[in-house]
Structure 1
Amino acid sequence: MLLLGLLLLALLALLAGACLLWGQWKRRSLHLPPLAPGFLHLLRPNLPIYLLGLTQKFGPIYRLRLGLQEVVVLNSKRTIEEAMVRKWVDFAGRPEMLSYKLASQGYPDLSLGDYSLLWKAHKKLTRSALLLGIRSSMEPVMERLTQEFLERLRAQASTPVAIQKEFSFLTCSIICYLIFGDKIKDNLLHTFHDCVQEVMTLWDHWATQIVDIIPFLRFFPNPSLRRLKQAMEKRDHFVEKQLRWHKESLVAGQWRDMIDYMLQEVALPRVEESPGQLLEGHVHMSVVDLLIGGTETTATTLSWAVAFLLHHPEIQRRLQEELDLELGPSASGSWVSYKDRERLPLLNATIAEVLRLRPVVPLALPHRTTQPSSIFGYDIPEGTVVIPNLQGAHLDDTVWERAHEFWPDRFLQPGKSPRTLVFGCGARLCLGEPLARLELFVVLARLLQAFTLLPVGALPSLQPQPYFSLNLEIRPFQVWLQPRGMGGPNLGKR
């Protein structure tokens, strides 16, 4: 049995090598980006920063091999916008990966699905439902959930708080209320939250990632993949149960939440010029994408914001002075609507700077060319996997003054700071951007109104977890939350 397995492995390696040589022969006449040598780039710590470092030798666009897969990496704002905005049609595809197939379970997926006119209609449906929810009821709901969040924190004010976990549950609660409505029970919130955590942990596991870069390993036993599939099935069971309940209680012409709106939209008769029929499966995957994409990403950004403010207490003090001046002293102050957010310029600038330095999905999701194209004179063949290094682009010294420093004031200088790419750009722009920006604004404002953030012992590390995962993970840390207006000199000395 062992000998048979070794022979199969050797045969698969031989086939992979032959395919690689055939691909190189076919492209011999093309002017391709330079190739960085090596196969183990994915094992480098702080991968986005490592990829940015390669630009010193190879320029802002180059090729490298991740296992058996050759990819093109874009490391500057100019190259990313050239591909994703000006030539977006050529670069709007997604690669076919085993983990993507497991994540979608055969449903039409927004985040991981390939570009098509039907995909475009799917995105429009989801974005319309999201924006409708934000306009009609989201800000009051978010304000209420944030106040409940602050009450939980006040109960822990005398002890160190692992604030990442609190942020994670808060952001999951917000997205669940938006999708499922205000009738959702607390036990279901915890169930959804645990499910999201399990899916993200298994998806980021090295044993899952490795089959995407060395595909023939899928033929060997992989407990991580098996557990991921089981977690996806559990996720789908939860979503299907909610869809059934919504269909049974639906009132035509009314909607309580995003699911109600989307179910009624897909039930409308198909018009002649439509690209295809949107189905209930599209609604299912819209829900999944919003749950997975709208929980840990925003929670991680909030955690990075707290870590940076612990390192820069002078910025925290200025933020609290701004809040007190505009809204009144401490947590008893009034509130400002998100549409009037320009009244809090330093808060907006701080959020922008956190997003610039720590874009939560630093390498975005990989793109794939749907037809032959080019970027700044380099040929990019059809089917090429393209990785936009968003964090690298945000640390480009030729674009950003004091690029590696936390300096929110850069965004207070009118017309001097370029636009960040943290939510991507072009056709694949993150549809959750409006909700994420609303959450960051409301939660940070209310948190800093209510508490002064103090370190527990040593300051938290500003270096992300060293090895690559989809999100730019922050290292675990705790924080003291000193209620404002209470002085608390002993607490401040901890």
Structure 2
Amino acid sequence: MISTMTGVALDSALGSVSPSTLLLGLLVAGALICLLAGGGTVWGCHHPPSTPPLPCLPSLPVLGSLLSLRGDQPLHLRLRELGHRYGPLYALYLGPHYTVVVNSYQHAREVLLQRGKEFAGRPKMVTTELLTRGGKDIAFSDYTPLWKIHRRLVHNSFTLFGEGSSRLQDIEAVEALCCDLQASRGQAVDPGPPLMRAVTNVVCTLVFSSTYQPGDPELTSVMEYNDGIVQTIANGGLVDIYPWLRFFPNQTLTRLRDCINIRDTLLNKKLEEHKVSLSVGEPRDLLDALLQGGQGSRLEEEGICEDHVLMTAAEAFGAGVETTSTTLLWVLAFLLHHPQVQGRVQRELDEVVGCGRSPNVSDRAHLPYLDSVINEVMRIRPVSPVLIPHIALTTSSIGGHSVRKGTRVLVNMWAIHHDPDHWDTPQDFRPERFLDNEGRRITPSCFMPFGAGPRVCVGESLARLELFLFVSGLLQRFSFSPAPGVSLPDLQGRLGVVLQPLRYSLTVTPRPSWGVGGRGGEAAGRI
């Protein structure tokens, strides 16, 4: 959702507002230009006295530095390019909002870890306030005592699906996905739709114990409202930079509200069903766990309410579906470009798992190369190349520069994951960089695909397990190759809510060794 929060470029932001709002903006901009032509003044960057001032992009009244972000480059590349001119730490204005941009691991470590609590705030924005019922989620809510209680509740609920649990393993989504892919019968297939259906089904099962067949109206509704929210957020807009624009006609906000209403109708229905059937004992799913964990006068007195439960469930879809399915698309895209990597993963699977059963969670510890492939994909194409903006909750400092309370901070994870000071040939796809000389896992400290510190993604462990089960299951059963007569996937991608590859096609070939006995044989038989 970074594009709407930062105004990826002025052109895309202007394109998302209504004609009347656009006209108003142009009139304001025109008046400012005339004013500037007469006065010739440009805003400077404010900084506390007697501290080294940060390099700052040119800034105009009202517009701030938005004109410096214009161009064909996506935001993360533009911010990194500006870093070559202004240094790894610099400032700009997103409209009226003074913002510090972090392009290096050294400074990101200060913001996320060393002074993590000082920079743990979140800005209030129109779209996220709508999405989260005024900040009753985890990702976009401000850092408060109530948020810490809520996060602890969510973290405890997510332990249901951790390393020691078979709940994620028992979901049949991988087998269902295999059926979808096998149905292509050697013809070129776009992996996007079946991956999206499979991941959505996983989240539905984890959140409210519903598993759907393809074409089920409720599954279709979930996918449509989630996609609608994603698309409206991806279109971006000036409303998060200039909140007063929400009082003018805005088609993007109207569609966003419509999608949220559909989402909330479904989630309210599921919540009421769970409240009726809730019982003491092992929770069936995330809604059960949240309801059980949220019961009791203490939590109610602290301010935890049903809205927090609903927004946590909503966030599982908003954050879990798009990011996981997109990462899987990137994995397949890079494997098409690097068939030798695909072959090595399959050999590792054959040696560790064999073909008589499906991979399970406990196999992950014995499949370091497969894990390194997933890590390298998350490094080279982070789905969130710029982290959700942080806010300084107190006057602090970054790199020896004072940063005032209320300052926004953007951490450019793309720049950190492609920094040649920390990564040898960072533009190259090399899973081996996550292994030592003996083939054991290593995790460089500058690898932070889920963020770090107090605002690290609460669903990181679950997401990693989900990625492992999908990738291992697919590569155990199939080989993937470029579709005949079709170009290899473009690896640059496009930035919307997440950084995703352009649509591509591939050919799916069942591996000859798959389907001999055990659970694997049963799954192959259904295919």
- Taking structure 2 as the reference length, the TM-score comes to 0.83
Kindly state the Cα deviation for residue 218 of structure 1 after the two structures are TM-superposed. 2.8
State whether residues 328 and 467 of structure 2, in contact with CA within 8 Å, keep that contact through their aligned partners in structure 1.
yes
Name the residue aligned to 2:409.
Answer: 386
**1:325 corresponds to which of 330, 342, 351:** 351
Q: What amino acid does structure 2 have at the position aligned with 1:462?
A: L
Question: What is the letter of the counterpart of residue 452 of structure 2?
Answer: C
Report deviation, 1:416: 6.8
Change (3 A) 1:29 1:233: farther
Matches within 5 A, 1:90-239: 90-106=118-134, 108-134=136-162, 135-142=164-171, 144-182=172-210, 186-206=216-236, 209-239=237-267
In 2, distance between residues paired with 1:12 and 1:99? 27
> Alignment partner for residue 475 of structure 1, among 502, 523, 527?
502
Q: Tell me, what secondary structure is at the counterpart of 2:467?
A: helix
CA 1:319 to 1:269, structure 2 compared with 1: closer, same or farther past 3 Å? same
Distance in 1, matches of 2:46 and 2:175, equals 62
SS at match of 1:481: strand
Amino acid at match of 1:429: V
Alignment of 1:314-393 (within 5 A): 314-328=340-354, 332-393=355-416
Shift of 1:41: 4.2
TM-superposition CA deviations, 1:255-284 (whole Å, max 9, x none): 21111121122121217xx98131111111
- Aligned partners of 1:172 and 1:366: how far apart in 2? 27
Q: CA offset at residue 23 of structure 1?
A: 9.4
Quick check: 1:241 aligned with 2:269? yes
| Alignment match of 1:435 (pick from 462, 465, 487) | 462
- 1:289 corresponds in structure 2 to 315
Query: Which position in structure 1 is the counterpart of 2:81?
Result: 53
Distance 1:395 1:176 in 2: 35
Work out the CA distance in 1 between the residues paired with 2:207 and 2:425: 41
Residue 295 of structure 1 aligns to a residue whose secondary structure is helix
Matched residue count: 471
Distance 1:183 1:346, change over 3 A: closer
Deviation at 1:55, TM superposition (A): 2.2
| Aligned-CA RMSD value | 2.7
Q: 5+ residue gaps in structure 2?
A: 1-19, 59-64, 515-527
Distance 1:6 1:287, change over 3 A: closer
Following superposition, the deviation at residue 417 of structure 1 comes to 5.5
**How many angstroms does 1:141 deviate by?**
2.5
What CA distance in whole angstroms lies between the structure 2 residues aligned with 1:224 and 1:182? 30
The one-letter code of the counterpart of 2:149 is A
User: Following the alignment from structure 2 to structure 1, what is the Cα–Cα distance between the partners of residues 43 and 504?
Assistant: 50
Q: Among 455, 480, 487, which residue is 2:482 paired with?
A: 455
- The answer as to whether partners of 1:324 and 1:333 remain within 8 angstroms in 2 is no
> Which range moves more in the overlay, 51-60 or 350-359?
51-60
Any conservation in 1 of the 2:201–2:211 contact (CA below 8 Å)?
Answer: no
Matched residue of 2:66: which SS? coil
Cα deviation 1:33-90 (Å, max 9, x = unaligned): 2102342344442321221222222221111233443311111111111111110111
Cross-structure match for 2:54: 33
What is the CA–CA distance in structure 1 between the aligned matches of 2:512 and 2:339, rounded to whole Å? 17
Question: What is the Cα deviation at residue 470 of structure 1?
Answer: 2.7
Between 149-158 and 444-453, report the one with greater CA deviation: 149-158
CA distance in 1, matches of 2:295, 2:264: 21
Structure 2 Cα separation of the partners of residues 445 and 416 of structure 1:
20
Instruction: Judge conservation of contact 1:454–1:481 (CA < 8 Å) in 2.
Output: yes
Please report the TM-score for the alignment, with normalisation by the length of structure 1: 0.89
SS of the residue 2:458 aligns to: coil
In the TM superposition, 1:50-89 aligns within 5 A as 50-89=78-117
Matched residue, 2:293: 265
Change (3 A) 1:205 1:123: same
Specify whether residues 12 and 237 from structure 1 end up closer, same or farther in structure 2 by C-alpha distance, changes over 3 A only: farther
